[in-house]
């Protein structure tokens, strides 16, 4: 067996994907090693479920009156009447809003993984399977899922169930308008997640440098923020 091939296989065995809890902490503290392990063992199911549960918990722990107040403000700002179901504080509202992330998280991660694969594997010809890209995306976005828990105190104090720590948070000098809306949807935790996706893509493709992947994937959250800001 060629020595370089043997060394590569040994390296992959040493960096093989560990258990879910260790992978979760590795996303924050040693993502490079994590993604190298996911290249040979692209585990994704546990991370997908963990991300959905974190996002659901972040919603469930919000006070129901805060969620309802945010909805009322949005409807009134759009000139729409408040439905009778939201007039009071029904007990089911907390559970209804917590179930939504459990369903939507997996769909969103699958769509993101498809976009990443289309760009890097199909258009650029990088090495990688959909399972590998999915493993990278779901692990990287554990950052965003954790943010729903981290931001709970800020959302409660600010009385805004959808508060984000974004670039717009530091652009208070700007007047209300498209630019401020655009920056407000560039969530810092989301950008952190996408930078990690760029790193993971580079490791899947066995690239030493990851700056290109990091810059390229940033087009996804930037495009999303640009489109959402139009209708906000």
Q: Residue 25: inside a domain, yes or no?
A: no
pLDDT at 3 over 50: no
Q: In sequence order, what are the residues at sequence separation of 6 or more whose Cβ sits closer than 8 angstroms to the Cβ of residue 42?
A: 17, 129, 131, 132, 134, 135, 136
Question: Which is more confidently placed, 174 or 9?
Answer: 174
Q: Residue 43: inside a domain, yes or no?
A: yes
Q: Residue 107: inside a domain, yes or no?
A: yes
Arithmetic mean of pLDDT, 133-160: 95
Q: Residue 27: inside a domain, yes or no?
A: no
Question: Which is more confidently placed, 131 or 64?
Answer: 131
Q: What's residue 89's pLDDT?
A: 58
Nearest to 57 by CA among 142, 132, 173, 117: 142
Q: Which domain holds residue 188?
A: 38-231
What is the dihedral angle through the alpha carbons of 190, 194, 197, 201, rounded to the nearest 10 degrees? 170
pLDDT at 13 over 90: no
Q: What's residue 118's pLDDT?
A: 93
pLDDT at 45 over 90: yes
Q: What's residue 214's pLDDT?
A: 85
pLDDT at 11 over 50: no
The confidence band for 72, taking pLDDT boundaries of 50, 70 and 90, is: confident
**Nearest-angstrom CA–CA distance, 29 and 173:** 34
pLDDT at 14 over 90: no
Q: What's residue 33's pLDDT?
A: 94
Q: Residue 11: inside a domain, yes or no?
A: no
The confidence band for 4, taking pLDDT boundaries of 50, 70 and 90, is: very low
Q: Residue 6: inside a domain, yes or no?
A: no
The confidence band for 86, taking pLDDT boundaries of 50, 70 and 90, is: low
Q: What's residue 88's pLDDT?
A: 62
* Count of CB atoms situated within 10 Å of the CB of 134: 23
Arithmetic mean of pLDDT, 165-177: 89
Could you give the C-alpha distances from 109 to 28, 94, 105, 212, 217, in angstroms and in order?
19, 23, 6, 21, 14
Take residue 32 and report the two structure tokens written for it.
């490079």
Q: Residue 106: inside a domain, yes or no?
A: yes
pTM for the whole structure: 0.86
Q: Mean pLDDT over all residues of the chain?
A: 86
Q: What's residue 66's pLDDT?
A: 83
Q: Residue 124: inside a domain, yes or no?
A: yes
DSSP state, residue 160: -
pLDDT at 61 over 70: yes
Take residue 212 and report the two structure tokens written for it.
């290109």
Take residue 87 and report the two structure tokens written for it.
């007039």
Provide the number of structural domains found in the chain: 1
């Amino acid at each position: 067996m060629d020595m370089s091939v043997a060394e590569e296989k040994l390296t992959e065995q040493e960096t093989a994907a560990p258990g879910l809890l260790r992978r979760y902490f590795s996303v924050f503290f040693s993502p490079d090693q994590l993604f190298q392990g996911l290249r040979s063992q692209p585990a994704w199911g546990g991370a997908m479920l963990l991300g959905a549960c974190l996002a659901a918990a972040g919603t469930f722990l919000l006070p129901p009156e805060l969620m309802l107040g945010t909805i009322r403000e949005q409807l009134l700002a759009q000139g729409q009447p408040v439905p009778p179901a939201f007039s009071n504080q029904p007990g089911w509202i907390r559970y209804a809003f917590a179930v939504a992330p459990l369903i939507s998280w997996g769909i969103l991660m699958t769509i993101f993984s498809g976009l990443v694969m289309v760009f890097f594997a199909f258009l650029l010809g990088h090495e990688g399977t959909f399972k590998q890209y999915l493993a990278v995306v779901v692990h990287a976005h554990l950052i965003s899922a954790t943010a729903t828990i981290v931001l709970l105190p800020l959302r409660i104090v600010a009385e805004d169930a959808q508060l984000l720590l974004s670039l717009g948070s530091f652009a208070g000098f700007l007047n209300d308008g498209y630019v401020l809306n655009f920056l407000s949807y560039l969530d810092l935790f989301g950008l952190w997640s996408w930078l990690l996706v760029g790193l993971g893509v580079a490791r899947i493709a066995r690239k030493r440098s990851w700056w290109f992947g990091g810059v390229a994937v940033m087009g996804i959250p930037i495009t999303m923020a640009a489109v959402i800001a139009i209708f906000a």
